[in-house]
Amino acid sequence: MARPTTGARAGHAGAVPYLFLAPAMALFTLFMALPIGYTVYLSLRRTKVSGLGLGKGARKEIFTGLDNYVNALGDGELWAGWLRVLGYGALVLAFMLGLALLFALMLDASRVRLARFTRISIFLPYAVPGVAATLMWGFLYLPTLSPFGGLPFLGADVVTFSMANVAVWGGTGFNMLVLYTNLRAVPRDYYEAARIDGAGELQIALRIKVPMLTPAIILTTVFSVIATVQVFTEPTTLRPLTNTISSTWSPLMKVYRDAFVTGDLYSAAATSVVIAAISLVLSFGFLRVVKSRAFGEG
């Protein structure tokens, strides 16, 4: 019986990685690529109604090109939602990432008590589902149930701060854990050398730990920007508790209203693509700014 040639064996060996990748590629195609492609397909079409819209053939799906995108980009409600999300995002990113960095540095200090208990306590809110966390805070915000008295947490002037508080409470622990894990990977010899040179804990944190954390800070910032742009759970869950949150408070809420309330799937699909494009621009724009500054400093 003839043995496989060297070329045949090499060919089989080269196919092995693709066999391992096949399940992930199949799942990506099924649950990511196909839905995205279908959304783009819907965004280029609309329903044409003939006559009274009754009878067979009275409603047809036709190709409209970029008309849905033009309408989406010219929709004042969408851009008003973006302005609200930008204000909300500025609050969330500043407080959530700032607290995550502070907690990570404190837990990595040379002398800290109950580190494991504190770490779990800070991370625990992240394990609470977003809807449950928002409902919990929503009941605390209601004047009739709140233990904080009659403070207007859901008033028009402060409702954005109240929603940002929910996001900060839930997301700080995850970002803290990412930063803390990166800190634990830093060789302790760096800290010992700094202490020998007379550096205190604050100097070590600012001059050694924070610069070493720069890649992790960039990573958590990008993920947080994407999550903030897609804010949906907090305003949607709090909306029944107050009349200060509209059905189009955020861009994703507008997509939900167009798709499932007014039934305009084509407009909702185009708006979804616009939101995804803006998310990519913001994320890559942030990375480009960071990269340009890094090379500029170098």
pLDDT in tens, 215-234: 999 989 999 998 999 999 99
What pLDDT score does 237 carry?
95
What pLDDT score does 293 carry?
72
Set out the domains of the chain in order of their start, with CATH numbers. 82-297 (1.10.3720.10)
Tokens 């783009």, residue? 40
Q: Please give the DSSP secondary-structure letter assigned to residue 128.
A: S
Q: What is the band of 96 on the pLDDT scale with cuts at 50, 70, 90?
A: very high
Which burial class, exposed, middle or buried, applies to 152 when counting CB atoms under 10 A from its CB (0-12, 13-18, 19+)? Answer: middle
Share of the chain above pLDDT 70, in %: 90
Query: Which residues face 45 on adjacent strands?
Result: 63
In sign, the C-alpha dihedral spanning 228, 233, 238, 239 is positive
pLDDT at 298 over 50: no
The CA-atom distances, in angstroms, between 285 and each of 51, 211, 278 are 48, 21, 10
Cα torsion for 63, 260, 38, 19, to the nearest 10°?
A: 180
What pLDDT score does 290 carry?
81
d(CA 21, CA 114): 43
pLDDT at 81 over 50: yes
What pLDDT score does 163 carry?
96
pLDDT at 52 over 80: no
Tokens 């279908």, residue? 38
Burial readout 84-98 (b: 16 or more C-beta within 10 A, e: otherwise): bbeebbebbbebbbe
pLDDT at 251 over 70: yes
Mean pLDDT of 96-115: 88
Q: What is the pTM assigned to this prediction? A: 0.85
What pLDDT score does 155 carry?
92
What pLDDT score does 57 carry?
62
Share of the chain above pLDDT 90, in %: 56
What pLDDT score does 50 carry?
66
Task: Dig out the tokens for 126 from the structure.
Answer: 């992240």
Mean pLDDT of 21-31: 90
